[in-house]
Structure 1
Amino acid sequence: MRSWGFWLGLGFFALVMAGFAAGGVSLWHTMRDEGQLPVEQVEVKGEHPHTPAGDIRAVLTQKPLGSFFTVDVNEVQQRLEALPWIYQASVRKAWPRKLQIFLVEQQPVARWNDQALLNAQGQVFRAEPGPAEQSLPRLYGQDDNAKDTLDGYRGLATLLEGSGYPLAAAWLSARNSWELELKDGLKLVLGREDTLRRVQRFIDSFPYLKGEARQPAYLDLRYDTGFAVGWQEEENKETP
């Protein structure tokens, strides 16, 4: 009797395990079958004025998303963040068949080397500028030194604009030498050292040049005291 009971128990256990296995296989196929639990709704939030809805749709339809269980949210995030104006994308699943996306666009603060833009973190990104970006200051430098260029520009611009000299452009050379251009076209050559002190010297001294008949083209402030002035060449006036 014990022998029969043992074999009956073992057979029952085997049937139960087979049922679990069959159910597991069925569930696995259901989870992987896009037709069973497809992603039916994509919800996009966040302001993205530079990124048309069509561009987002094209990214999401590059290849099938898969089922709710198999969609790779990290891969979708990477595809969205490859769009030129997207700074950050967050992708989440929402039961039962929804994908929630939140987008953050780049916030440009300067044009960079006439070919790209800089965001507020000093990171270079390449995107087509719109009308609003045309009025941004122009910065020039090495890509691997973009943040230092932006930080230096901010300090110099604050000092100049606080005294009524708005800054239009700044150059930081590979040797860390600064050159500035004011919005009226006047250029300031600062060099590598004591840049803030040299700008302050310009602010203190420039009013004395305003009485000159000629207009200065640039001021070279790379001196311990004083500065050199380069004058605009007078245009030849033709006699009618």
Structure 2
Amino acid sequence: MASIMRRKPAPRRESSTPRASKGQVRRVSPLKPGLRNARNWATAHMRAATYSRRGALRMFSVIASFTLFILFSGLWLGGFLPDIRNNLDEYSRTRLIAMGFVVDHVDVVGEGRILENEVQAALGIRPGDYLFETDLRAAQQRVQSLPWVNDAMVRRLWPDRYVVHIIERRPMAMWQSEQQLRVIDTDGRIIEAALPEDFAALPRFIGAGASQNAKAFLVSMTSAPLISEQVDLIIRVGNRRWDLQLKDSGARILLPENGADKALLRLSKYHDSHRILDLDIETIDLRLPDRMIARPRQDAGSTVYVKRKGEAA
């Protein structure tokens, strides 16, 4: 009878990990791969794409971005990106040339001593060239490097034209240094292409530092136009002050370091009343503010003319 009786089933061992009841979120161990979470994320987005347009657009953008990333990575790793870029540039260039974007005219505005063909040669642009192939900044720098050019601006005008505006350097004076005579502009820079014999009427400066200070001194000489007309040489002394040498008499006028314009005006007024520049004088010293000393030539006697401030002549 005992054999006929059924055995009792062995009691079930309770698991140490509590099972999640219905409606509860099952906790995933952090040691397991995250594929289940990725699958749940994809399932959720697919379900959202099914029920709403925004979800569908979001899902499509994610797929497209991932595809483009894979494609770009493959092209970059394979070294195909430079070839693709070159092909696109060549295609664009060919299409624009076919549409008429080629150089037909190069206009130079403001040329005087510099010739138009010299500007075009420095520009490096010829009729028939592709309009967008030239680097405007580099072309402008080449034009500005020409001897007579003070400033230049290069513009591209669609569809077939380049325009170059030039401001030429203006000769201001001649500067003699180390037995060499050169023409300088209003900034005191040497104009290498200018020939001194073509500008004999310009004022002539001598001495170190004369070119940098020539413009300011010519402005101060405007206070005495009668004297400036008789000046032959303007001499820089010690890079501090100026001496003037007159044309006909050869007399030398010594000017102070400061206030040269006032000293010239004082001499001009004294010449109007006493004709001092017509005398046989070797030097006229104006370096002292309260007096003017005139020294005659040695063969004309030893008389020294002194004019004190406030005294009658």
Matches within 5 A, 1:70-109: 70-109=133-172
State the Cα distance separating 1:32 from its structure 2 match: 5.4
* Aligned equivalents of 2:134, 2:291: Cα separation in 1: 67
The amino acid that maps onto 2:284 is: L
8 Å contact kept, 2:207–2:237: yes
The amino acid that maps onto 2:200 is: Q
Q: From the superposition, tell whether residues 229 and 39 of structure 1 become closer, same or farther in structure 2 (CA, over 3 Å).
A: same
C-alpha RMSD of matched pairs (Å): 4.0
Report the secondary structure of 2:283's partner residue. strand
Matched, 1:28 2:89: yes
- Structure 2 equivalent of residue 238 of structure 1: none
Q: From the superposition, tell whether residues 174 and 54 of structure 1 become closer, same or farther in structure 2 (CA, over 3 Å).
A: farther
Matched, 1:177 2:268: no
Report the secondary structure of 1:111's partner residue. strand
8 Å contact kept, 1:111–1:139: yes
Q: From the superposition, tell whether residues 150 and 232 of structure 1 become closer, same or farther in structure 2 (CA, over 3 Å).
A: farther
Report the secondary structure of 1:150's partner residue. helix
TM-score, normalised relative to structure 2: 0.55
The amino acid that maps onto 2:292 is: G
8 Å contact kept, 1:149–1:172: no
Gaps of 5+ in 1: 235-240
State the Cα distance separating 1:139 from its structure 2 match: 2.6
Matches within 5 A, 1:70-219: 70-113=133-176, 114-119=181-186, 122-126=187-191, 127-129=193-195, 133-142=199-208, 146-155=211-220, 157-161=221-225, 163=226, 165-166=228-229, 167-184=231-248, 185-206=250-271, 207-209=274-276, 212=279, 215-219=280-284
8 Å contact kept, 1:190–1:220: yes
* Aligned equivalents of 1:211, 1:173: Cα separation in 2: 25
Matched, 1:57 2:120: yes
Report the secondary structure of 1:228's partner residue. strand
* Aligned equivalents of 2:92, 2:205: Cα separation in 1: 52
* Aligned equivalents of 1:177, 1:164: Cα separation in 2: 17
* Aligned equivalents of 2:267, 2:194: Cα separation in 1: 36
Report the secondary structure of 1:135's partner residue. coil
- Structure 2 equivalent of residue 237 of structure 1: none
State the Cα distance separating 1:81 from its structure 2 match: 0.9
Bigger relative contact order (CA 8 A; separation at least 6) = 1
* Aligned equivalents of 1:211, 1:42: Cα separation in 2: 58
Identity percentage of aligned residues: 21
8 Å contact kept, 1:141–1:149: no
* Aligned equivalents of 2:277, 2:206: Cα separation in 1: 29
Count of residue correspondences: 215
* Aligned equivalents of 2:108, 2:138: Cα separation in 1: 16
TM-score, normalised relative to structure 1: 0.69
Gaps of 5+ in 2: 1-45, 47-58, 73-80, 301-313
Structure showing greater Rg: 2
The amino acid that maps onto 1:95 is: W
State the Cα distance separating 1:131 from its structure 2 match: 6.3
Q: From the superposition, tell whether residues 106 and 31 of structure 1 become closer, same or farther in structure 2 (CA, over 3 Å).
A: farther
State the Cα distance separating 1:87 from its structure 2 match: 1.1
Report the secondary structure of 2:255's partner residue. strand
8 Å contact kept, 1:89–1:104: yes
State the Cα distance separating 1:150 from its structure 2 match: 1.5
